[in-house]
Structure 1
Amino acid sequence: MRVHFIAVGGAAMHNLAIALHLKGFNVTGSDDVIYEPSKTRLGKHQLLPKEEGWHPENITTAIDAIILGMHARIDNPELLKAQELGIPVYSYPEYIYQQSKDKKRIVIGGSHGKTTITSMILHVLNFYQKDFDYLVGAQIEGFENMVKLSDAPLIVIEGDEYLASPIDLRPKFHLYKAHVGIISGVAWDHINVFPTFDNYKLQFSLFIDTIQEGGKLIYCEEDEVLKELVAQHLFKNKLSVLPYQTPDYSIINGQTFLETSTQNVPLSIFGRHNLMNLKAAQLACEEAGILEEEFYQAIADFKGAARRLEKLGETANTVVYKDFAHSPSKLKATIEAVKEQFPDRKLIACMELHTFSSLNEDFLNEYANTMNGADFAIVFIDEKTFLQKKMKPFSQEKVLTAFNNKNLKFFNHPEKIKSYLQTFQFSNTNLLMMSSGNFGGIDLVTLTKLLISN
């Protein structure tokens, strides 16, 4: 098979390109800009385009399939050439399905926690050397790539609700046709695509409808919106439902223990939201043939996915974390987790408004009270971001009012954050840096060393 990727530099796209290459496909690709780590990883497999840009002359009838990334536009010259020649064009979720039609498919959806749940399942299956394929949205310890495709009988897929491609405006997780579907929770996101909460909720209802007949739905019944959504499907769909809640746990000297009927399992992760994620993963692993006690044995040393409460540095009485949290529900849950784990320490929480949703004035009020659990709250917007995203800027006053936190500090330049953080004495104090961006290019590792060495 010869496959060509349009916009090969994307996080999922370049990993799929590598996976197909390792499977023996003839893979080519193009993009107008490719950032790290995609550039180095594509280069390692000799898949890096010789030059950046779109080159329609590369599209010929010798190509069996085009895989189109969300970064491309509908008037992309390579896409137009492929359509002219009648070459089949797939989004990457469509192509993942094509490669897994004969496998058992476990698909993890939800507004939050899906990467962590997927990572936990992969960690446990890998621990027991099960034969499986996967697609996950972050780098995980023990896995070189974020996508694997082989002849395995099982695939575990992180099911994003964002759109599949510029010419396929269906949410990605609708395309996988799960045998086992997981929904971790429903909290409004992607306002640029789903302008109302009802429209956003509908996507999860439709996802439930895509679960194959005789399949199973694993869902968090602590989420009232989700619980109501599932209830509407109980007599509509021929599937089994497996509700879950936060399992029992305790925290002793900064260590979280999962309390089971037979033992207390020490964990490397913490936070109520992560314990909920763990229970979802355990139920999914049962569907893959892993017994409950086997799951607990394997999960003990799971350290988390990249950028999910990732530890940047620590001393005897300080820890600095970075986290991918950016939506209101993730922000609140992550702050609460760190405060619960270290109740005797002060918490400085700094988040960057970076996504289209978070920079939308109509969505901003969803952040009300989300940072009130921190002792010191900071919101950052890189002054360049509005220009890059071609969005209307809003004022500091708008941010302070929306977050409903009188003590919140607002900055629009990375150097100002760095200067402010250096005014703190980091004794009995933790720092939490949350963003789906990069804080205007701040080197967080170097900053951490500077802050906790004082």
Structure 2
Amino acid sequence: MISEQQLYQQVQGKTRVVILASKDENNITAMLLHVLNYYDKQVDFVLANGKQSIDESNEFIVIEAAKNADALKGNIALVIDVNPEIHTAGFVNSITNGGMLVYYEEVAAVKLIVESSTNTIKKYPYKAPDYSFENEVYFIDTNEGKLPLEITNENDIKHLLGAKWICQHMGVDEDDFYEAVGEFRA
């Protein structure tokens, strides 16, 4: 497996979408890739488990951050939790000028790191969506009403809006996101 510095050198011409999450939140990347695949949006990816697909012609690359995530210099990033293996403040400050960061504001440490950063990036906080559990099915509240999900992990539901923000910045509108995520199974 190549280092983050080598990966950056290989993909620096692409829009780098970097996901910083702990092992418990790794389904967020799967959710993101599911939605993009649902609409045949071709993207490269490098996952923390070593799986990868890189094609010279794709504009975006989705990267699950491991150690040395700041070397990736993300253009678009998602921070869910403070990862003890990664210097989260360094990662936030490494996002390219004018880039964007989506972050889970319900984790106080994440909110503090992001809000204290002076990096010139757009910052988009999110919270868990309103949701319910009825007859063994999770539902989230959307502008169109209650949407049943095939997701069975409550933690994945908490971070669904983070994935929505990232998808919107990759060209998938909100209604289309909800259509695709309604069929996501982890």
User: Shift of residue 113 of structure 1?
Assistant: 4.6
The answer to whether the aligner puts 1:109 opposite 2:30 as a matched pair is no
Check the 8 A contact 1:246/1:272 in 2, yes or no: no
C-alpha RMSD over aligned residues: 1.7
Rate the CA distance shift 1:240–1:113 in 2: closer, same or farther, 3 A.
farther
2:163 pairs with one of 281, 303, 316: 281
State the partner residue of 1:262.
144
- TM-score normalized by the length of structure 1: 0.39
The answer to whether the aligner puts 1:227 opposite 2:140 as a matched pair is no
State the partner residue of 1:98.
9
Residues 168-179 of structure 1: pairs in structure 2 closer than 5 A? 171=68, 173-179=69-75
The answer to whether the aligner puts 1:210 opposite 2:116 as a matched pair is no
Alignment deviations for residues 169-195 of structure 1 (CA, whole Å, 9 cap, x no partner): xx2x112110011110126x45xxxxx
Check the 8 A contact 2:25/2:156 in 1, yes or no: no
Structure 1, unaligned stretches of length 5 or more?
A: 1-12, 14-90, 139-144, 163-170, 191-199, 305-454
2:51 pairs with one of 142, 146, 149: 146
Alignment deviations for residues 357-409 of structure 1 (CA, whole Å, 9 cap, x no partner): xxxxxxxxxxxxxxxxxxxxxxxxxxxxxxxxxxxxxxxxxxxxxxxxxxxxx
Residues 52-451 of structure 1: pairs in structure 2 closer than 5 A? 91-138=2-49, 146-150=51-55, 151-160=57-66, 162=67, 171=68, 173-186=69-82, 189-190=84-85, 203-233=87-117, 236-304=118-186
Alignment deviations for residues 301-327 of structure 1 (CA, whole Å, 9 cap, x no partner): 2111xxxxxxxxxxxxxxxxxxxxxxx
Task: Output the amino acid matched with 1:131.
Answer: Q
Pick the structure with greater CA Rg.
Answer: 1
Rate the CA distance shift 1:113–1:103 in 2: closer, same or farther, 3 A.
farther
User: Shift of residue 115 of structure 1?
Assistant: 1.9
User: Shift of residue 244 of structure 1?
Assistant: 0.3
Relative CO higher for 1 or 2, CA cutoff 8 Å, sep ≥ 6?
Answer: 2
Q: How many residues in Structure 1 have an aligned counterpart in Structure 2?
A: 185
Structure 2: how far apart are the matches of 1:100 and 1:113? 27
Percent identity between matched residues is: 31
Alignment deviations for residues 248-268 of structure 1 (CA, whole Å, 9 cap, x no partner): 111111111111111322111
Alignment deviations for residues 94-148 of structure 1 (CA, whole Å, 9 cap, x no partner): 232122111111100033554211111111111100121111235xxxxxx9201
Q: SS where residue 26 of structure 2 aligns?
A: helix
- TM-score normalized by the length of structure 2: 0.92
Structure 2, unaligned stretches of length 5 or more?
A: none
Check the 8 A contact 1:114/1:159 in 2, yes or no: no
Check the 8 A contact 1:113/1:277 in 2, yes or no: no
Alignment deviations for residues 161-217 of structure 1 (CA, whole Å, 9 cap, x no partner): x3xxxxxxxx2x112110011110126x45xxxxxxxxx6xx100001110000011
Q: SS where residue 175 of structure 1 aligns?
A: helix
User: Shift of residue 219 of structure 1?
Assistant: 0.4
State the partner residue of 1:10.
none
Structure 1: how far apart are the matches of 2:134 and 2:64? 32
Structure 1: how far apart are the matches of 2:112 and 2:22? 16
Q: SS where residue 34 of structure 2 aligns?
A: helix
Structure 2: how far apart are the matches of 1:98 and 1:186? 26
Structure 2: how far apart are the matches of 1:226 and 1:126? 29
